[in-house]
């Protein structure tokens, strides 16, 4: 059955684009019904529109996070989205949203969870001196970067890596892993 997806993105949108690319190549039986952003100038919005996907930004007030989440939840429901795909969504969701879509929210994080949760995981990996890192697709629960793990990919950390070179190596794997995890839902 075709998976009905809604995407939340704050920025560049390369993971979203990788998913959409596989949908268009018919290697992923899914459809993105709606992309929402908390940032009106997120490049992800323009990318979505060039693919004919309904893309909207909604106002985000950190002092009233549930206003965004209620509006986003209503729009995602109205568009018929079953799975909610976090693709570089840089806001922490409250239990309100997570319970509303319980077990149906996916995130990708650029580390081998449970290592290096939170911000700058690639920098955390370099500082820790690990020899391998990677990325994780997991279900979202109220604890940050903590839900059940659906898929992981490993990359080596090389001696002269910078945050940028390691991030790029991990990102290549993210673009393969996220569509694969959605395919296996």
Beta pairing partners, 156:
132
Q: Applying CB under 6 A, what is the total number of residues that bind ligand GRF?
A: 13
179 binds ligand GRF (CB under 6 A): no
Please state whether beta strands 55-57 and 30-37 pair in parallel, antiparallel, or not at all (unpaired).
parallel
Shortest distance in whole angstroms from residue 46 CB to ligand GRF: 13
Please state whether beta strands 30-37 and 3-8 pair in parallel, antiparallel, or not at all (unpaired).
parallel
Rounded CA gap, 112 and 15, in Å? Answer: 17
**Which residues inside 102-121 make contact with ligand GRF, applying CB under 6 A?**
108-110
> Which residue of the chain is nearest ligand GRF when measured via CB?
88
14 binds ligand GRF (CB under 6 A): yes
11 binds ligand GRF (CB under 6 A): yes
Which residue is it, tokens 């919005």? 45
Main-chain phi, psi angles of 135, to 5 degrees? -145, 160
Check residue 157 and report its DSSP letter: P
Q: Please give the sequence-ordered ranges of beta strands (E in DSSP) within 26-163, or none if there are none.
A: 30-37, 55-57, 83-86, 105-109, 132-139, 149-156
15 binds ligand GRF (CB under 6 A): yes
Q: 20 or 100: whose CB is closer to ligand GRF?
A: 20
152 binds ligand GRF (CB under 6 A): no
85 binds ligand GRF (CB under 6 A): no
Q: Which residues are catalytically annotated?
A: 109
Task: Work out which of 6, 88, 134, 179 binds ligand GRF, going by CB under 6 A.
Answer: 88
Contact residues toward ligand GRF (CB under 6 A) are 9, 11-15, 87-88, 108-110, 171, 174
């Amino acid at each position: 059955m075709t998976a009905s997806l809604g995407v939340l993105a704050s920025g560049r949108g390369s993971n979203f684009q990788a998913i959409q690319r596989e949908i268009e190549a018919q290697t992923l039986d899914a459809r993105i019904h709606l992309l929402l952003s908390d940032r009106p100038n997120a490049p992800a919005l323009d990318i979505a529109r060039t693919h004919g996907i309904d893309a909207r930004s909604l106002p985000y007030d950190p002092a009233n996070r549930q206003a965004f989440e209620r509006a986003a939840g209503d729009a995602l429901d109205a568009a018929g989205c079953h799975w909610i795909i976090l693709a570089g969504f840089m806001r922490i969701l409250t239990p309100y949203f997570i319970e509303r879509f319980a077990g149906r929210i996916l995130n990708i994080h650029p580390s081998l969870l449970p290592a290096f949760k939170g911000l700058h995981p690639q920098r955390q990996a370099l500082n820790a001196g690990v020899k391998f890192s990677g990325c994780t697709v997991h279900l979202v629960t109220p604890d940050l970067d903590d839900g059940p793990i659906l898929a992981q990919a490993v990359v080596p950390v090389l001696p002269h890596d910078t945050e940028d070179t390691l991030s790029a190596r991990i990102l290549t794997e993210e673009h393969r892993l996220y569509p694969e995890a959605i395919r296996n839902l």
